[in-house]
Amino acid sequence: MFLVQSAVLMCLLTGQSSSKPATSLQVAITIDDLPFVGEHRDFQTMFANTKALLRPIREAKVPAIGFVVGGGADNLPKSEQRRLLQLWLDAGCELGNHTWTHADLDAMSVTDYEAQIMKTDQYLHELLDPVKVDFFRSPYLNDGKNRETKEELQSFLRSQSYKEAPVTIDMDEFYFAGAYDKAVNKGDLATASRIERTYLPYVDKAIRYFEGQSVRVFGRVCSQVILLHAHYLNAKMMPAILDLFRRRHYRFVSLREAISDPAYRTPDKYYGSGGISWIYRWELGKGMSATWPLSPPDWIVRLNAQK
């Protein structure tokens, strides 16, 4: 009795609720297209924006992973490329392989694609020795338009001790990023601010939508893997994105921990050109289908398409 009363008293004193929040939800934060995507390719800008992107991740010890396009900053000297990627390691993140040129498996032979993976693998190990690179993510999430291609790639990844990185929350956020860069470049801060205000509810809806799809497939919310990109909009919005998950009582876990959820043992029998969320792949495997119901507002799509 004394212990219960003490606990209640502590809650009253600290202002906390005595009911324990649900903490079973987990998400891995995965960020593609390192070192940075966007219009400004100079070292100082990419360095400052990468630091901003990683600040909330480092401060909250979020075990995120960044997927590197090996040739993504080959306009810069190797020493600067190293400094950009070292920021990720210093923030406690892991690095993964995202091919050499952001290659599309649909547009080349598997042999050439594998050469792209190995080139980035060698690059990372030479640049950052020692570094551990265990995960690979296909650009556009294209991992084989037919069974033969997909199995060949999987067999290659296994032979190189790579694990493919799945995605559950995939939401085409590049439209917002492109529009945001254009508004900022024009000095149109009102539009930039409007994009920020539109982006967050969109991400929130995507999280809720894929939670729902997960419940459809598994009867529960499986560990989630969100796909974000290293761009200026996310550099600005990362604290708010992390807060969206916190408000829904998510715990941030590594990609390795997220995919230890038995849901990820569900076979992925999707063969096709359009890379899609693993939740859709699992649904297809179970004879279910779903259509992505969200799209960015027209004004954002138009702004992104402007020259």
Give phi and psi for 41, each to the nearest 5: -105, 5
Location of structure tokens 């992925």: 268
Instruction: Evaluate whether 56 touches 242 at the Cβ level (below 8 Å).
Output: yes
Q: Is 170 in the site for Zn ion (CB under 5 A)?
A: no
d(CA 110, CA 40): 32
Residue closer to Zn ion (CB basis): 177 or 253? 177
Q: Is 173 in the site for Zn ion (CB under 5 A)?
A: no
Minimal distance, residue 161 CB to Zn ion, in Å: 22
Minimal distance, residue 138 CB to Zn ion, in Å: 9
Residue closer to Zn ion (CB basis): 192 or 228? 228
Minimal distance, residue 296 CB to Zn ion, in Å: 18
Q: Which of residues 109-168 bind Zn ion (CB under 5 A)?
A: 139
Choices 31-39, 174-182, 184-192, 198-206; region in contact with Zn ion by CB under 5 A: 31-39
Minimal distance, residue 227 CB to Zn ion, in Å: 9
Instruction: Evaluate whether 241 touches 203 at the Cβ level (below 8 Å).
Output: yes
Minimal distance, residue 35 CB to Zn ion, in Å: 12
d(CA 24, CA 1): 28
Contacts with Zn ion by CB under 5 A: the residue count is: 3
d(CA 292, CA 220): 19
CB crowding 143-165: b at 16 or more within 10 Å, else e = bbeeeebbebbeebbeeeebebb
Location of structure tokens 């005595």: 18
Residue closer to Zn ion (CB basis): 32 or 94? 32
Going by C-alpha positions, the residue among 206, 113, 129 that lies closest to residue 168 is: 206
Instruction: Evaluate whether 99 touches 113 at the Cβ level (below 8 Å).
Output: yes
DSSP code per residue over 143-182: --SSHHHHHHHHHHHHHTT-EE---SB---THHHHHHHHH
Which residue number places its CB atom closest to Zn ion?
A: 32
d(CA 213, CA 70): 34
Residue closer to Zn ion (CB basis): 36 or 250? 36
Q: Is 33 in the site for Zn ion (CB under 5 A)?
A: yes
Preceding omega of 35 cis (within 30 degrees of 0): yes
Choices 25-33, 53-61, 124-132, 277-285; region in contact with Zn ion by CB under 5 A: 25-33
Residues 47-86, mask of contacts with Zn ion (x by CB under 5 A):
----------------------------------------
Residue closer to Zn ion (CB basis): 38 or 139? 139
Residue closer to Zn ion (CB basis): 33 or 164? 33
Minimal distance, residue 256 CB to Zn ion, in Å: 20
Going by C-alpha positions, the residue among 100, 98, 38, 27 that lies closest to residue 64 is: 27
For residue 274, the 8-state DSSP code is S
Q: Which of residues 240-259 bind Zn ion (CB under 5 A)?
A: none
Minimal distance, residue 177 CB to Zn ion, in Å: 12
Residue closer to Zn ion (CB basis): 32 or 181? 32
For residue 42, the 8-state DSSP code is S
Q: Is 32 in the site for Zn ion (CB under 5 A)?
A: yes
Identify the H or E element spanning 199. helix 189-218
Minimal distance, residue 249 CB to Zn ion, in Å: 29
Write out the residues near Zn ion by the rule CB under 5 A. 32-33, 139
